[in-house]
Chain A
Amino acid sequence: MKDREQAGITRGAQMSRRSFVGAAAAAAAFTIVGRDVLGGRRNVPPSEKLNIAGIGVGGRGAGDLDAVSSENIVVLCDVDQRRAADTFKRYPRARRYKDFRRMLDKEDKNIDAVIVATPDHVHAVASMAAIKRGKHVYCEKPLAHSIYEVRRVTEAARQAGVATQLGNQGQASEGTRLVEEFIVADAIGPVREVHSWSNRPISPRGIDRPKDSHSVPEGLDWDLWLGPSPKRPYHPCYLPFSWRGWWDFGTGVLGDIGCHQMAPIFRALKLGYPTSVEACSSGVNSETAPLASIVRYDFGARPGFPALKLSWYDGGLMPPRPAELPNGLRFGNADDNLCIGDKGKMLGHRLLPEARSKEYGKPPKILARSPGHHKEWIDACKGGQPAGSNFDVSGPLTEVVLLGNIALRTGQKLYEKGLKLHYDGPGMKVTNFPEANEYIRCEYRDGWKL
């Protein structure tokens, strides 16, 4: 293991942090204040660059690295050399690792921040390891694989005072602000019902564990890919990307898209933990998420807001076309939100009916606009204000999203009992169906901890 690990570090690409920073500083003529002048290893002034390590650097990870390439990308860590190849090529001077634990050990002094863009089941262990070392964390959505992990990571980040951001970049958009501004302006009156949906999945669902065996492809460290998840033989049905459908690794469409799609709703309607949740689906097995599902949350009244029902749909299901939407306007085959207020409806951030939209115009602009999702985080890392989807915001959001998966996995049993799941958010516990609590936290494989 260790030998393979060391072999994974490409010597040729290695460069000491000092020489790297020196080169970077030389290239950046506007570098004014040296880090060491400020003292304290995490204080990076706006004028200086962050030293960032990427954990999981193919696919989405590559996109995240590009989005922060104004900073120094000093370390790249990936368990799959094939998947990482393009990113390795783009950042030839970054040091390369396979195991993020080893990387953090070795690079502790050389990095300020990490980007976690691994499959979902690795988010928490990687983020936590970084937080424990005082590193700022940008983590892809959903924040973690289980509610317990989310809670722990959120608390740890708060205590460590590191800058965090979840990868739901839509939160930085104009649309997200408009949704909130319309609500604040009372454009549709009190909202009691919201529908939120995605037309995913785009990888197989509702299937069983494969029985055929495959040899692990060269370049992939399967054991590391599994991380804290239970051991199972390698199979190409898990990666890349299609791990999303497998309960041991991914979090279904809800986990994939829910943190994106529900974020504006959470923000605008000041949602916290739901009081209860129920779910139905096209069939769940213990291996994969369903092909299609509907998850329905009940939120109690919040100050200034009445109780609300939030319905999530995926797999092609969605609410019926609102009567107020004129023919010709698209509804469906995409991800969207429909807010139903006492005085009107809002599709995304478009007021319905059309006449109402025209009459109303735009709501008062009361919210600051974002400099960009990744930039928010970079600024926060350099002492600026917390990013829009910092873990104090995105932690509770992710918990709610993941609670939906618990409802899906226990849905049929609950249904037979004539119950919804009753949830105690602060206590992190389903109160009326104890066996659902088994899904709040997942067991780690030997050698892995949070």
Chain B
Amino acid sequence: MKTNKKQNERQNGRISRRDFMGAAAATAAFTIVPRHVLGGPGQTAPSDKLNIAAVGTGGRGSSNIESLKSQNIVALCDVDWRHARGTFRRYPKATKYKDFRRMLEIEDNNIDAVIVAAPDHIHAVASMAAIKRGKHVYCEKPLTHSVYEARVVAKAAREAGVATQMGNGGQASEGTRLMSEYIWGGAIGPVREVHVWTDRPLNGLDRVYWPQGVGRPEDTPKPPDTLDWDLWLGPAPERPYHPSYAPFKWRGWWDFGTGALGDIGCHSIDPIWRALKLDAPLTVEAACTLVNDETYPVASRVTYQFGPRGDMPAVKMHWYDGGMRPPRPDELDEGRQFGTNGTLFEGDKGKMLGHMVIPESRRKEFGTPPKVLERSPGHYQEWINACKGGKPAGSNFDHAGPLAEAVLLGNVALRASLKKKLTRTRLHWDSKNFKITNMPEANKYLQRDYREGWTL
């Protein structure tokens, strides 16, 4: 393994980790405690820098890397080196890879942590491979592509004791804290209904971020020379390359993405999850436009029912996408925007749009809630701190796993083959036993088969 590593470094003309660390230490005048004093792999002193590898370095990955560039970016892995070009240029000293499995093998001793910003269908296999090697993991949302993967990855991270963070940056915001503080402070009383919506995949009036509700393309254009299509597919079933999938538009395809719900749900449901102390839903149901087994529907509404938690009553959460949204509340003053993406809590004593209590009279009467939650040093900083022995990050996998599971369960309720049966019931979810109890055939959508050669 080590030989391989050295060979590779030599071949690539890259500097060894030791040299690299030396150079980094020299530039960082405030480096006090060297890593080896603390001993044990995976322990990085707060004063030291993490050595980070990234899986998926274009698009979202590129901005993750930028946000973590206070640390050492030592290895970059992307299946499309043209897509990765900008990032590669910005970090010329980082070793470059196409296959994250190979990268982890070769760089095992050189890296502390991994950023996973590949398409959704790669999240679990990449995160898991990193976790198994004791690496800290920052993974883009949604945590995984299937409910099962979310369960397994969260468990593995817990057992490995690595620091984790999901890429739902909003969790670190002031707004997220305010939502909890208003709810907990009794601003709108017990909440029995919540609405949360995004216009995605719709973008404005007549454009889309990515297409949904379409079938598989029949033409088979040649993949770009720089793209390793087989690696891009990863554990997903084999199919010919098409520009409809990569880059970015994979979000709309069942085999690769998780639709608008997967894209935005982990962002926007997160503060609700916290404020209402949600755990696994009891039932899930959905209504949507025509859906096939290739792409997610153009628009949908997914409704989750959660049981009572502590002193909080049972609550229904409605998700809307593709331009659908809840009714504009009468309590919202005319001229106030309702929002392209938004959250509306309905409590016994008032409503809350985001963290704005409505009507205004109630807002004034209530004032501001006590500040009971600690503020964040920043979403990425949380993870850096956690990697260096600090407290767990706000969206660590013990939090993000169940959240992602609920989000992805919504997609199960959208499945075409279940639609007919779902006109007669909802999906009943037994989270503890990881099972949909009233529709056995739905369970196959909790997990997916991997292509040969791929394991979790």
Kindly supply a per-residue 1/0 record for chain A positions 378-389, scoring 1 wherever the CB is within 8 Å of any chain B CB and 0 otherwise.
000000000000
Other than the given A282-B289, A292-B324, 16 more pairs (CB < 8 A) read A280-B323, A281-B323, A282-B323, A282-B324, A283-B323, A285-B205, A291-B213, A294-B325, A317-B288, A317-B300, A320-B285, A327-B425, A330-B424, A331-B423, A412-B205, A417-B335
Contact B423 A283, beta carbon cutoff 8 Å: no
Contact A333 B423, beta carbon cutoff 8 Å: yes
Residues of B near any A CB (own CB < 8 A): 202, 204-208, 213, 285, 287-290, 297-301, 303, 316, 318, 322-325, 327-328, 332-338, 419-420, 422-426, 438
Contact A294 B324, beta carbon cutoff 8 Å: yes
Contact A282 B338, beta carbon cutoff 8 Å: no
Contact B289 A315, beta carbon cutoff 8 Å: yes
A330 to B422, CA, bound (A): 9
A292 contact set on B, CB distance < 8 A: 289, 298-299, 322-324
In the complex, the chain A residue whose C-beta lies closest to that of B212 is A282
Interface residues of A in 269-306 (CB under 8 A from B): 278, 280-285, 290-292, 294, 296
B324 contact set on A, CB distance < 8 A: 280-282, 292, 294, 317
3 tightest A-B CB contacts, nearest first: A320-B303, A332-B423, A282-B299
A420 contact set on B, CB distance < 8 A: 328
In the complex, the chain B residue whose C-beta lies closest to that of A416 is B337
B301 contact set on A, CB distance < 8 A: 317, 320
Q: Would you give 26 A-B contacts (Cβ < 8 Å), ordered by A?
A: A281-B323, A282-B289, A282-B324, A283-B208, A285-B206, A291-B213, A291-B299, A292-B322, A296-B328, A315-B289, A316-B297, A317-B299, A317-B324, A320-B285, A320-B303, A321-B303, A327-B424, A329-B424, A330-B424, A333-B423, A412-B205, A416-B337, A417-B335, A418-B333, A418-B337, A419-B335
Known: A282-B289, A294-B324, A315-B289. A331 touches B424 (CB 8 A): yes
Known: A327-B424, A330-B424. A282 touches B335 (CB 8 A): no
What total count of A-B pairs have CB within 8 Å?
Answer: 101
Name the prevailing secondary structure of the B interface residues.
loop
B333 contact set on A, CB distance < 8 A: 418
* A241 contacts partner chain B, Cβ-Cβ < 8 Å: no
In the complex, the chain A residue whose C-beta lies closest to that of B283 is A321
* A360 contacts partner chain B, Cβ-Cβ < 8 Å: no
Contact B318 A320, beta carbon cutoff 8 Å: yes
B438 contact set on A, CB distance < 8 A: 327
Instruction: Report the minimal beta-carbon distance from A406 to chain B, rounded to whole angstroms.
Output: 15
Contact A296 B327, beta carbon cutoff 8 Å: yes
A290 to B287, CA, bound (A): 16
Residues of A near any B CB (own CB < 8 A): 206, 278, 280-285, 290-292, 294, 296, 309, 311, 313, 315-318, 320-321, 327-333, 412, 415-420
In the complex, the chain B residue whose C-beta lies closest to that of A317 is B287
A290 contact set on B, CB distance < 8 A: 323
B335 contact set on A, CB distance < 8 A: 417-419
A419 contact set on B, CB distance < 8 A: 334-335
A317 to B423, CA, bound (A): 12
A331 to B303, CA, bound (A): 14
Contact A412 B289, beta carbon cutoff 8 Å: no
Contact A280 B288, beta carbon cutoff 8 Å: no
A415 to B206, CA, bound (A): 15
B424 contact set on A, CB distance < 8 A: 327-331
A284 contact set on B, CB distance < 8 A: 205-206
A9 to B297, CA, bound (A): 49
A296 to B195, CA, bound (A): 16
Contact B289 A309, beta carbon cutoff 8 Å: no
A332 to B414, CA, bound (A): 13
A412 contact set on B, CB distance < 8 A: 204-205
Contact B206 A278, beta carbon cutoff 8 Å: no
Contact B287 A332, beta carbon cutoff 8 Å: yes
Contact A309 B327, beta carbon cutoff 8 Å: yes
Contact B425 A333, beta carbon cutoff 8 Å: no
In the complex, the chain A residue whose C-beta lies closest to that of B203 is A283
**Which residue of B290, B328, B333, B438 has the most chain A CB atoms within 10 A of its CB atom?**
B328
A294 to B325, CA, bound (A): 8
Contact A283 B289, beta carbon cutoff 8 Å: no
A316 to B207, CA, bound (A): 21
A333 to B418, CA, bound (A): 12
A316 to B286, CA, bound (A): 10
Known: A316-B290, A418-B337. A333 touches B420 (CB 8 A): yes
Contact B299 A278, beta carbon cutoff 8 Å: no
A259 to B245, CA, bound (A): 42
Instruction: Report the minimal beta-carbon distance from B200 to chain A, rounded to whole angstroms.
Output: 12
A203 to B426, CA, bound (A): 29
A194 to B424, CA, bound (A): 21
A292 to B328, CA, bound (A): 18
Known: A316-B297, A330-B424. A418 touches B334 (CB 8 A): yes
Instruction: Report the minimal beta-carbon distance from A301 to chain B, rounded to whole angstroms.
Output: 14
Known: A320-B285, A329-B424, A330-B424. A278 touches B323 (CB 8 A): no
B419 contact set on A, CB distance < 8 A: 333
CB < 8 Å neighbour of B288 from A206, A311, A316? A316
CB < 8 Å neighbour of B299 from A296, A315, A328, A417? A315
In the complex, the chain A residue whose C-beta lies closest to that of B208 is A283
CB < 8 Å neighbour of B289 from A311, A316, A416? A316
In the complex, the chain A residue whose C-beta lies closest to that of B327 is A296
Instruction: Report the minimal beta-carbon distance from A418 to chain B, rounded to whole angstroms.
Output: 5
A282 to B202, CA, bound (A): 7
Contact B289 A418, beta carbon cutoff 8 Å: no
Known: A280-B323, A315-B299. A418 touches B336 (CB 8 A): yes
A291 to B327, CA, bound (A): 19
In the complex, the chain A residue whose C-beta lies closest to that of B206 is A285
A311 contact set on B, CB distance < 8 A: 327
A376 to B336, CA, bound (A): 49
Contact A321 B337, beta carbon cutoff 8 Å: no
In the complex, the chain A residue whose C-beta lies closest to that of B299 is A282
In the complex, the chain B residue whose C-beta lies closest to that of A318 is B287
A323 to B191, CA, bound (A): 17
Contact A321 B298, beta carbon cutoff 8 Å: no
Contact A282 B298, beta carbon cutoff 8 Å: yes
A321 contact set on B, CB distance < 8 A: 285, 303, 426
A363 to B332, CA, bound (A): 39
In the complex, the chain A residue whose C-beta lies closest to that of B419 is A333
A313 contact set on B, CB distance < 8 A: 287
A328 to B325, CA, bound (A): 28
B425 contact set on A, CB distance < 8 A: 327-328
In the complex, the chain A residue whose C-beta lies closest to that of B316 is A320
B300 contact set on A, CB distance < 8 A: 317
A282 to B325, CA, bound (A): 10
A294 contact set on B, CB distance < 8 A: 324-325
Instruction: Report the minimal beta-carbon distance from A308 to chain B, rounded to whole angstroms.
Output: 13
A315 to B300, CA, bound (A): 10
Instruction: Report the minimal beta-carbon distance from A438 to chain B, rounded to whole angstroms.
Output: 17
A278 to B323, CA, bound (A): 13
A320 to B303, CA, bound (A): 7
Instruction: Report the minimal beta-carbon distance from A200 to chain B, rounded to whole angstroms.
Output: 11
A420 to B337, CA, bound (A): 11
A416 contact set on B, CB distance < 8 A: 337
B328 contact set on A, CB distance < 8 A: 278, 296, 420
**Which residue of A280, A313, A418, A419 has the most chain B CB atoms within 10 A of its CB atom?**
A280
B213 contact set on A, CB distance < 8 A: 291
A283 contact set on B, CB distance < 8 A: 202, 205-208, 323
A62 to B202, CA, bound (A): 40
A410 to B26, CA, bound (A): 62
Instruction: Report the minimal beta-carbon distance from A278 to chain B, rounded to whole angstroms.
Output: 6
In the complex, the chain A residue whose C-beta lies closest to that of B288 is A316
A315 contact set on B, CB distance < 8 A: 289, 299
B204 contact set on A, CB distance < 8 A: 412
A321 to B419, CA, bound (A): 13
A417 to B334, CA, bound (A): 9
B323 contact set on A, CB distance < 8 A: 280-283, 290, 292
